[in-house]
Amino acid sequence: MTTVSREAFGRMPAEQGGGEVEKFILQSESVKVEILSLGCIIAALETKDRDGKFSDVVLGFDTLEGYTKKHPFFGAVVGRVANRIAKGRFTLDGKEYQLFLNNGPNSLHGGAKGFDKVLWSPQLLLDGVRFFRLSPDGEEGYPGDLKVWVTYTLSGRQLTINYRAQTSKTTPISLTNHAYFNLAGQGSPDVYDHEISIEADSYLPVDDTKIPTGEVAAVQGTGFDLRQPVELGKHLQKFHLDGFDHNFCLQQVQSPCLVARVCHPPTGRTMEVHTTQPGIQFYTGNNLDGSLKGKGGITYPKHSAFCLETQNWPDAVNKPHFPNVLLHPGEEYNSTTWLVFNTA
């Protein structure tokens, strides 16, 4: 059985529009997840270790104030387009669109005020919560009135995130959740002792601004070959990598696939990612620098978490040979990701 409850979490500052932020608590016998109506943020996710002890395995803040200040998208749904668009620019039907540049020369995760920074309208479900918002035509430079629904449901060990959208004009769309995980428990100093595997034969090399070059490169014989589990710290050392912030190319099928698995041997916690998306961005918290105080006043240093963001490929709107990222009027965007927590 899953129980669902709601409580007040705080009020947005007046300069950010005010408005009440609620927290929704979904709880099964093995997982407890707390989700905010601000940005559909996963603010906490508690799961058991092999001894049955619960720990919170996502980075974030204890109070609303942390989330209203600048932070690296902790736990949030990002959009309209997750990841980077080169020079914040794309052309549709002969018209050029210019987005806000918030990541060097590029647009990242929806721009200056993306889906992560707005209040969503919640609807309680028997086993979860559904959030809705209308992103108006022209918001952050994107065309079309876009209706978006994000639904979280919890069943036993499995958290399901479903994203749906409909548009009045053709628009690019790629939605994901940007939770930062540490299976040792949030606040643990690094994720070097985690073992990870990603079911991908190829990945996207990037330029020095993290935009894909256009090449779809084989992982074989490189540090990007994660098809067999690797211990993260040793793997980064072996291949002289500063960390990962790359899209791994998944099988392009409509049915859900197991695409990634992470295990933390000391606690026995495991996490599986299943998705219908064509890509997954593996990010190792390279830009965390200890300057943010998170839950319990703990700081989050570099490599203290990992993200596995299921999404379309970065900059797909400018690369015709990448999977289609355009949503047309009369169609529905519909994508689902399943996170399964267990112990080994």
C-alpha–C-alpha distance, residues 229 and 244, integer Å: 15
Count H helices and E strands in the chain, helices first: 2, 27
Residue 26 has, within 13 A of its CA and on its CB side, a CA count of 27
Residue pair 38/22 in contact (Cβ under 8 Å)? The answer is no
Contacts of the segment 71-74: beta carbons below 8 A, 24+ positions apart:
71/292, 72/178, 72/180, 72/287, 72/288, 72/292, 73/109, 73/116, 73/178, 74/41, 74/178, 74/179, 74/180, 74/294
Catalytic site includes residue 321: no
Catalytic site includes residue 178: yes
Question: From the candidates 178, 194, 246, 303, which is the catalytic residue?
Answer: 178
Q: Say if residue 245 carries a ligand binding annotation.
A: yes
Question: From the candidates 140, 195, 272, 309, which is the catalytic residue?
Answer: 309
Q: Say if residue 180 carries a ligand binding annotation.
A: yes
β-strand partners of 107 = 85
C-alpha–C-alpha distance, residues 136 and 142, integer Å: 9
Can you spell out the DSSP letters for 83-130? SEEGGGEEEETTEEEE----BTTBEETTSTT-GGGSB-EEEEETTEEE
Distances (CA, A) of 215 to 24, 54, 108, 209, 241: 42, 43, 20, 15, 20
- One-letter amino acid at 315 equals D
Q: Say if residue 83 carries a ligand binding annotation.
A: yes
SS3 state at 15:
helix
The secondary structure element, H or E, covering residue 231 is strand 230-231
Compute how many other C-beta atoms are within 10 angstroms of the C-beta atom of residue 19.
13
C-alpha–C-alpha distance, residues 81 and 285, integer Å: 20
Q: Give the pair of three-digit tokens for residue 145.
A: 């009135």
Q: Say if residue 179 carries a ligand binding annotation.
A: yes
Residue pair 37/163 in contact (Cβ under 8 Å)? The answer is no
Q: Which residues are annotated binding-site positions? A: 83-84, 178-180, 245
For the annotated catalytic residues, the residue numbers are 178, 309
Q: Which residues are annotated binding-site positions for beta-D-galactose? A: 83-84, 178-180, 245
